[in-house]
Amino acid sequence: MCGIFAYIGKRKDASLLVIRGLKALEYRGYDSWGIAILKSKVIPIQPGQKSKNSKQRIIIIKQAGRISDVSESNFPDSNFALGHTRWATHGGVNDINAHPHFDCTHRIALIHNGIIENYDEIKKKLLDSHHRFISETDTEVAAHLIEENLKNIKNQEEKSRQDIFLEAVRLAFNRFIGLNAIIVMDAETESFIAAKNGSPLVIGKGQDENFLSSDAHALLPYTKHVYFMEDDELILVSKDKILAYEAKTKKQKNIAFTSLSWNLRSADKGKYPHFMLKEIFDQPKVIEDIISDNSKQIRDFSKLIKDSYGTYLVGCGTAAYACLSGTYLFSKIAGRHVNFAVGSEFGYLVDFLTPKSLVLALSQSGETIDVVEAIKRAKQKNAQIGALVNVLGSTLYRLSDYKVLLGAGVEKAVVSTKAFTAKLTYLVLLAYSLAGNIKRGKQELRSAIGAIDEILAKQYLDRIKKLSKALCRKDHIYVIGRGLSYPIALETALKIKEASYIHAEGFAAGELKHGVIALAEDGTPCIAFLPNDETYGASLAGAMEMKARGGYIIGISFKPHSVFDYYFPVRDCSVASIIPSVVIGQLLGYYLAVARNIDPDKPRNLAKSVTVK
Ligand code: BG6
């Protein structure tokens, strides 16, 4: 995944800008960081020499650890810098493997997001040409290949240094197999070249300064004029120009910048100790905004589903559980069969798609590669593509024929919360619109907002904190639910796993007696979702079966019951009850993490959007 930020322009504090940019992108990868800075070295005046001259060179500062722990002082002045915060794929987490990487001459520094699948074969050839490699990464191979091209490009005397640099990068980039984004910094031409195929890259245009970033929101403090790079594109960025080329043909192309309407405020955590808690508290407003602003969009999208011959909801992680919830919501509310598949598997299930099929991609980031690849496969079958995403200009947003922006605002905590309930809100409204009763959908969702407000009240939170302290040393927690509550049980277990590292397992309550109950012993915590619907009785039976074997039952329900050892009341708001119910699951994950002294915003080994396979 990795976070990338770069600056070139009039300001002298480029390294500071880059460090701050990386901090804003840390949720994309946080195991190591690095920055490359162009430094001028003043050479003393020789006798008879008129003016001072200086030689420019790139220095790299990099190390294992979090960029958020880095103090912003002691970085040299410069107007040209490039930075990276890493989520390791090739090579362990250490100072050497951190990005950026040099070529042998230190003329260029390079950062990378993605995987160069054929790096080994390229490396062998470069070793034969006496290149010296320092790290274990696939990335360093790219720097040396560009260096090799810089040496071998013919008729250099007829070309500008910029052209030679561009060609050297282009030839190298076209050799890579896999999904990659690179930025190369060149001391000689004092310019960047960015190339992309898969992983996201955004260009920010300022007054006599330009920026590059993995995510547009990190550019907000400096500019709102952005360009979302397309696949197989090369962009040359210097202080005063931005030139775009097709990577395959080197043909120059015109690009159009968009102006973002996002506000900066939504990207910081304000009074909250963590983004995860802030984003949990954002949910009532997010849901209200969706209910009040999007009726036409909802009607158009539900008509799309109505007219399609088969609708498939596709997503990964938390988004996959929103998709699964969608299958229950459309069946229950609209009597409509809608399919679901996890993104990484859907690519193997596309053979039956026709041009009348509708594939809906659900994704917070809009960049999850497993979903992007699945959608590309579905497009090859000419299926219609829709996207419910939270990031304007993201790959899935641009790939799709029909787009819905979730409007949840920037979600920074790796553990997704408000983007999930925003997806559920859209799915409830789409299903009710399909059933011709959107008014009822809005009523139930407004009741759900009220139920969330009751849960976010201090007294209620204190009860969640108390339980979290009691459970935080447990090794296993089980979560059960039936029907609409089954995906909510899965999502609750995922929140607990992602945030607190406790092994939590969610499953359909009916499956309990077909195996999992063997794991039950004295004090085994079991969270049971018992809403006021047709699943109540059977789920209660499941809770009782666990209790009979020593289970400690945590009931999340519209009414108390003696089987509950710990009870969380949830207002009955019909099908929309899944939303306040999952908010309790989110808060349990959060407070379990806090009770275990774990940073819930940056869980180990995870990143916010997964752009590698
Ligand atoms: C993972 C995140 O990387 O990707 C999860 O840690 C998320 O929180 C999953 O649910 C899918 O991401 P997206 O952006 O496609 O919804």
The reply to whether 220 and 305 lie within a common domain is: no
The reply to whether 460 and 346 lie within a common domain is: yes
Query: Where among 204, 239, 262 does a domain terminate?
Result: 262
Q: Using H for helix, E for strand and C for coil, what is the string for 74-130?
A: CCCCECEEEEEEECCCCCCCCCCCCCCEECCCCCEEEEEEECCCCHHHHHHHHHHCC
- Tokens coding 38: 């162009």
138, 115 Cβ separation under 8 angstroms: yes
Estimate the crossing angle of helix 438-455 against helix 578-595, to 10 degrees: 30
- Tell me the average pLDDT across 171-199: 95
Q: How far is the CA of 320 from the centre of ligand 1 (A)?
A: 9
Q: Which residue has the higher pLDDT, 46 or 450?
A: 450
CA distances, 283 to each of 124, 328, 361 (Å): 52, 22, 22
Q: How far is the CA of 606 from the centre of ligand 1 (A)?
A: 9
Question: Alpha-carbon distance 420 to 120, whole Å?
Answer: 39
User: Residue 266: is its pLDDT beyond 70?
Assistant: no
CA distances, 596 to each of 470, 479, 499, 502, 600 (Å): 11, 20, 10, 10, 10
Give the DSSP letter string of 214-280: SSGGGGTTT-SEEEEPPTTEEEEE-SS-EEEEETTT--EE----EE----GGGGS-TTSSSHHHHHH
Q: Which of 280, 362, 364 has the most ligand 1 atoms within 8 A of CB, as the residue to mutate?
A: 364
The reply to whether 242 and 341 lie within a common domain is: no
Query: Where among 262, 291, 306 does a domain terminate?
Result: 262
User: Residue 259: is its pLDDT beyond 80?
Assistant: yes
Q: Measured from the CA of 396, which atom of ligand 1 is nearest?
A: 15
Residue 200, preceding bond cis, omega within 30 degrees?
A: no
Write the CATH number for 12: 3.60.20.10
Q: Is 145 helix (H, G, I), strand (E, B) or coil?
A: helix
pTM > 0.85: yes or no = yes
User: Residue 44: is its pLDDT beyond 60?
Assistant: no
Does a structural domain hold residue 48? Answer: no
What pLDDT is attached to residue 156? 83
Q: Is 448 helix (H, G, I), strand (E, B) or coil?
A: helix
608 part of the active site: yes
Does a structural domain hold residue 609? Answer: no
Q: Where do we find the tokens 């090794």?
A: 475
Q: Is 569 helix (H, G, I), strand (E, B) or coil?
A: strand
The Cβ of residue 607 has, within 10 Å, a number of other Cβ atoms equal to: 23
User: Residue 41: is its pLDDT beyond 80?
Assistant: no
517, 546 Cβ separation under 8 angstroms: yes
Closest CA to 175 of 245, 102, 227, 126: 126
Q: How far is the CA of 579 from the centre of ligand 1 (A)?
A: 19
The reply to whether 129 and 35 lie within a common domain is: yes
Does a structural domain hold residue 363? Answer: yes
84, 21 Cβ separation under 8 angstroms: no
Does a structural domain hold residue 535? Answer: yes
Give the DSSP letter string of 20-63: HHHHHTGGG--SEEEEEEEEEEEEPPPTT--S-EEEEEEEEEEE
Give residue ranges with CB within 6 A of ligand 1.
Answer: 316-319, 363-365, 368, 371, 414-416, 606-610
Of the residues 2, 316, 526, 573, only one is catalytic, namely: 2
500, 589 Cβ separation under 8 angstroms: yes
The reply to whether 28 and 170 lie within a common domain is: yes
The reply to whether 341 and 404 lie within a common domain is: yes
The reply to whether 563 and 428 lie within a common domain is: yes
Bridge partners for 9 per DSSP: 209
Bridge partners for 403 per DSSP: 387
The reply to whether 241 and 376 lie within a common domain is: no
Least confident of 87-101, 319-333, 485-499: 87-101
What pLDDT is attached to residue 264? 56
Residue 207 CB burial class (10 angstroms; 0-12, 13-18, ≥19): exposed
What pLDDT is attached to residue 45? 55
435, 277 Cβ separation under 8 angstroms: no
pLDDT tens per residue, range 290-330: 999 878 899 999 999 999 999 999 999 999 999 999 999 99
User: Residue 52: is its pLDDT beyond 60?
Assistant: no
3-state helix, strand, coil in the chain (%, to 5): 40, 25, 35
The reply to whether 184 and 296 lie within a common domain is: no
Residue 429's domain comprises 275-595
Sheet containing strand 3-9, strands side by side: 53-64, 32-43, 80-86, 3-9, 209-213, 202-205, 225-228, 258-259
Place 55 in a pLDDT band, splitting at 50, 70 and 90.
Answer: low
Question: Which residue's CA is the closest to the ligand 1 atom numbered 15?
Answer: 363
Question: Alpha-carbon distance 98 to 69, whole Å?
Answer: 16
Which residues, other chains included, contact 246 with Cβ-Cβ below 8 Å and sequence gap of 6+?
A: 232, 233, 234, 253
Q: Which residue has the higher pLDDT, 531 or 265?
A: 531
Place 158 in a pLDDT band, splitting at 50, 70 and 90.
Answer: confident
Place 154 in a pLDDT band, splitting at 50, 70 and 90.
Answer: confident
Q: How far is the CA of 415 from the centre of ligand 1 (A)?
A: 8
Q: What are phi and psi of 325, to 5 degrees?
A: -60, -35
Does a structural domain hold residue 62? Answer: yes
485, 575 Cβ separation under 8 angstroms: no
Question: Alpha-carbon distance 314 to 377, whole Å?
Answer: 12
Write the CATH number for 310: 3.40.50.10490
Question: Alpha-carbon distance 603 to 592, whole Å?
Answer: 13
Place 217 in a pLDDT band, splitting at 50, 70 and 90.
Answer: confident
The reply to whether 258 and 289 lie within a common domain is: no
Does a structural domain hold residue 510? Answer: yes
- Tell me the average pLDDT across 454-461: 98
What pLDDT is attached to residue 334? 97
316 part of the active site: no
What pLDDT is attached to residue 268? 82
Query: Where among 209, 241, 262 does a domain terminate?
Result: 262
Task: Look over the chain and give the mean of its residue pLDDT values, rounded to a whole number.
Answer: 94
Does a structural domain hold residue 601? Answer: no
User: Residue 43: is its pLDDT beyond 70?
Assistant: no
Sign of CA dihedral 175, 176, 180, 183: negative
The reply to whether 97 and 233 lie within a common domain is: yes
Question: Alpha-carbon distance 539 to 521, whole Å?
Answer: 19
First to last CA, the chain: 10
Question: Which residue's CA is the closest to the ligand 1 atom numbered 9?
Answer: 317
Bridge partners for 30 per DSSP: none
Least confident of 110-114, 217-221, 312-316, 320-324: 217-221
pLDDT tens per residue, range 463-480: 999 999 999 999 999 999
Total count of domains within the chain: 2
153, 168 Cβ separation under 8 angstroms: yes
Sheet containing strand 503-508, strands side by side: 503-508, 476-481, 525-530, 552-557, 566-569
The reply to whether 258 and 280 lie within a common domain is: no
- Tell me the average pLDDT across 146-173: 93
Does a structural domain hold residue 524? Answer: yes
What pLDDT is attached to residue 155? 81
